[in-house]
Structure 1
Amino acid sequence: MDISIFIPVYKQSDQVESMLKVLCSQNVSKEIFVTVDAPTDEFCNKLEHLKAEGVKFIINRERTGKTNALNNTVKMSSGGVLLFLDSDVGIPDNPDYLRKIVMKMEHTDVLDIKKRVIKDKSFLSKMAYYEYLTFNISSWIASRFMHKCPAVNGAAFAIKREMFDKVNGFRKVVAEDIDIATRAFLKEGKFSYSHDVEVDNVVHGNWKKWFVQRRRWAIGQALWLKDWYKELARRFVNKPQVFLPSLFFLYPSATVFFLSAIVPSLWMYNSLLVFSLFLSVKFNIALPIFLVSLATADILKVLLISLAGFGITATVFYGFSRKLGFRELKIHELFVYYFFYSTVWMAIIVFGHIQVLFGKKAGPDWKT
């Protein structure tokens, strides 16, 4: 068997039918497992019409948790390549889709599949478009310069069975995708990013669902960092030129806060002093401007750093958007993403880390 595909579903999915239609038409030796936790009656009825050759449905009437469901299903499979797909992704209708993945897996242990958000009219879909662009940029950098990566986006990725067995499968953690990628990374597993194989991601247009999901991501990330920070710190010291740019792309607002903290305010004070003296010579109005300048120097410093950071980010994002095929970049949307969305997301991350420090061990609405 060339490849085994795993699609975990919680309660129901609107995308599974179209996913199976594409996957079943692929011209490779394959097996497909759809594991459903706590399905709704409506979805159970729908499954009766989705049965196809090579597709196995595992129905768990009670919620067993994603990691349990996947680990148990992998034991039933026989493929040399294991492909994990979330039940809310779209797959291009290309008969060679799986064959490309199998071919890429001949040269790597872990493959992060390109993920793109289809924009609709919702604000969150537009912001997630740029967020997922940062995920892709970070994966491309790691693949290009290290051929290893301690993280993967679990919406769509593949791993060799040998590596999956070597790291003992998924652990019962909130961020099971990042965790298994980290363990493969520490086992010296090779990592690649697929530029020409992709999935489309459906994002929450509802703020409440988005907030619950992001809280879970933040807590999962904090728990992951708590488990692995020592080992990752050692690798970071050896390859800071790779890790730092990835952190910049993933958390642009953090860069502004960091630079604002380390850049001396005295530089701004001195610059404003020179400007004030210039005004006094020219217009004899130095004193009031000088007083105002001292009071607002810190604000001006943050403003200048923020605008300079945005200019650099916009330039770099534009270049990568062309390279990676993200052609829908709009400067006003990126501006909102940079100054508003990423700041809100960073605040949620900080809050999640604080919760973990005080003993939080699970994300909201999640079972490992």
Structure 2
Amino acid sequence: MTALTALAPRVVPRLAPLWTRLAAVTALGWTVLAASAVALAAGTVAGWAEATLAGLTGLVAFALGAVFTIGRMQLLVTLEPRRRRLEPGRSTRVDVVVRNAAARAMLPLTLEVGTGAQAHTFRVPRLAAGGDPHVRDFPVDALRRGVIPVGPAGSVRGDPLGMWQRRVTWTGVTEIFVHPRTVRLAALGQGLLRDLEGRTTNDMSTSDLAFHTLREYVPGDDRRYIHWRSSAKTGSAGPVEQFMVRQFRDTRRTHLMVIVDGDPRSYPDPDDFETAVSVGASVAARAVEDGVDTTALVGDRWIGKDPGRRQHRGELLDMCARAATSPDAGLPGLTVRGLRVAPGTTSAVLVTGANPAPAALRKVTAQLPPGVRAVTIRVDPLAHARLLSTAALTVLTLARLEDLPMLLLKGEAA
């Protein structure tokens, strides 16, 4: 046993190429090999010339088939989508560029490229060493929101009878993002979201932009904020000179949190979740365009604001393209998670389906800290577009995505 253990590190690497070669044998090849061996053995034992000839013919054909898989290829294959981001209903084309990087000519081969559940097959002709690349293309249709994997691209070499088939993968997977549909919204300083430009609080500060009042100077105050004119008047009114300093209200930097309920039980129809994703993506994309710090939690995916780095609309919509429903991605849990990753949230937009009751929505908004204004949007294809605003809850109900801009603008009068 000890001798075998010591011998294994030297034997196994030498057997690896043989194993790789045998892996190229197809089911047909193994069948032909087994049948030929049986026929040869039976013909030899029984003296049956026909069986012996059939067995020899099968073994020779099997051996000759291996010749078609001998040799190493050096290919450079690239997959180049002409557009990597699409909307549902659009299409693009993917260019497949094949170059021969070997020092000798390459024999013709078959190239396969997978796109999701489909596979595209191309016949690549003989390519000279260092010659011009061979370029082919194929269409990719974006039927609905999601991520379409393109690739990997692999070559297939084998014998004409199909007993040997050697596959080599040359590329990884390239992704094409199918973004959710979005609608153009007015700037977030208008309508129902008019307070998303940053607002003052009742917290006092010694330095900010929102001037509040004057107070007496105390040791430690910044002398830059001494109001000299008022200090001069105060000093002239009494025997002791008293300085007055400016007092400010603390101004919060706006941070919008957009949450799209990912619990499938919230939506009577799976297509309602697609509308909810589009609603959340429209609001979040508008906020990013307006320069508002935004954290978005959409189903089982989320994206936040990296300090010191500008947010981009494309990255946000890429995340929305990957979003899916999950029983663990309900509105209450997402709200807790959102406050954990974005504790500085000042406003929240919650998007859900038709099933959650108003009491459940009030319970969710109660999780938000005091001072954080929440707007809840319900997607209900069977309802009329309407706005309901109370002291405890503001709810928009829409039947289709196109109702969103009108409902948000209605907030001017809310």
**TM more than 0.5:** no
TM-score (norm 2): 0.25
Structure ranking higher on relative contact order (CA contacts 8 Å, 6+ apart): 1
Task: Name the structure where strand makes up a greater proportion of residues.
Answer: 2
TM-score (norm 1): 0.28
